[in-house]
Chains A and B, each alone.
Chain A
């Protein structure tokens, strides 16, 4: 009994200290311990060059220019090769670089680039991009890169994208429990859904 008491006191202390630590710590965009495995892509796609800040040599292209389905579908979508070529056939300056040469090889062979999945959720999870983008980008007027970054990290500084967030249930719920304003001007807030069947299938 005494032993049990001691254990529970210890546990309570632990929980209190952990939760107070969690409440104070500022959540950085990148947390090293949650870094996912390196994914070998067929072409080393430089996200920083495409979406990065102009000051750092980026093109500041909107995430949704290539990942078009994010705003209207469950999946964000990997752009078809056509989309890459659509721009790159007019960009002579990089036409002879190795990555672009490889890109055109796929194009001439009429083959899709076999991109690998970086953010792979278990099969029993249903994640809907549309609902999140509609809420944060279109209702709340958040910048696109910030909204995508909640789950994908600071992609505009990466070359090949890598998972930076744990994408675990507790992590999803930690955001669903917060008060989120329904739109940019309203003071009314709501939580994310907390019912199992919203996300599990």
Chain B
């Protein structure tokens, strides 16, 4: 990229989604997670560790907040002063929300995290200088920093365990930020296969690792642009619109039965993950 090109396209470089002038043409990857189905089993988290070469940091570092669970299960207790809540904890798998207007993207001093044409929030490890601004600006706290050199000095994957590493994903070294990628390595393969056959990726053709293992099928993933995709239908029935920070259903009365919502929508991050949860009597 020449300097003139960089200067000319500077405004493009930090262009914010969502915008009517830049609609997603072929793909817009999105997810929905049904919290009423989630049992908090953590299988999704384990699958993500295996798929994306996440280091297991151990108890001590975990307590320091140095863990790398790209998808973590948050627990919420409504115990009203009793020791244990009647219905147990409520679980919420939290991962990078792939915001259309991502707060992390605007603050990166080197442009290591930016938006792809497919509506993903990308993280380019070899560009990242480790300033950690993005993490500070992420309202979901879904970004994880490599405080140590896990593959070498910490020897997280001693021989022969390094054989389990996924060759399609970089093994990150010290000083870079990382986060859920929506399993972009799988998306790339699916897109390439589809392209060779001259079509778009079909719904269900590609799954994220967490979706694939979820025993209750709580996670759905797909292309919002595809009218046949399950995710798109879910978003539509729940009346959650990707490009709105205030949903129309919020004022409609009969919409109270709808379960879909996006976390911290009012911050205008326009997240790509929708959660489904029935409001319980007690929690209002």
Contact = CB atoms under 8 A, between A and B. Distances in A.
Please indicate whether A and B come from the same complex rather than being unrelated chains.
yes
Number of contact residues on B: which range applies?
20 to 34
B3 A122 contact: no
A2 interface: no
A170 B6 CA distance: 13
Contacts of B192: 128, 130-131
B117 A195 contact: yes
B122 A201 contact: no
Interface string B116-147: 11001010111100000000000000000000
Contacts, number: 47
A170 B63 CA distance: 42
A124 B125 contact: yes
Interface in A127-181: 128, 130-131, 134, 170, 173, 177
A128 B170 CA distance: 16
- Greatest chain B CB density within 10 A among A122, A128, A130, A195 is at A195
Interface in A71-122: 72, 122
Contacts of B188: 126, 197-198, 201
A196 B114 contact: yes
Contacts of B5: 177
Contacts of B125: 124, 200
Nearest to A125: B126
A156 B37 CA distance: 60
B170 A124 contact: yes
Interface in B1-15: 1-3, 5
Interface of B: 1-3, 5, 114, 116-117, 120, 122, 124-127, 168-171, 184-185, 188, 192, 195-196
Interface of A: 15, 19, 72, 122-124, 126, 128, 130-131, 134, 170, 173, 177, 195-198, 200-201
28 contacts: A15-B3, A72-B196, A122-B126, A123-B170, A126-B188, A130-B192, A130-B196, A131-B195, A134-B196, A173-B1, A177-B5, A195-B117, A195-B122, A196-B114, A196-B116, A196-B122, A196-B124, A197-B120, A197-B124, A197-B188, A198-B188, A200-B124, A200-B125, A200-B126, A200-B127, A201-B170, A201-B185, A201-B188
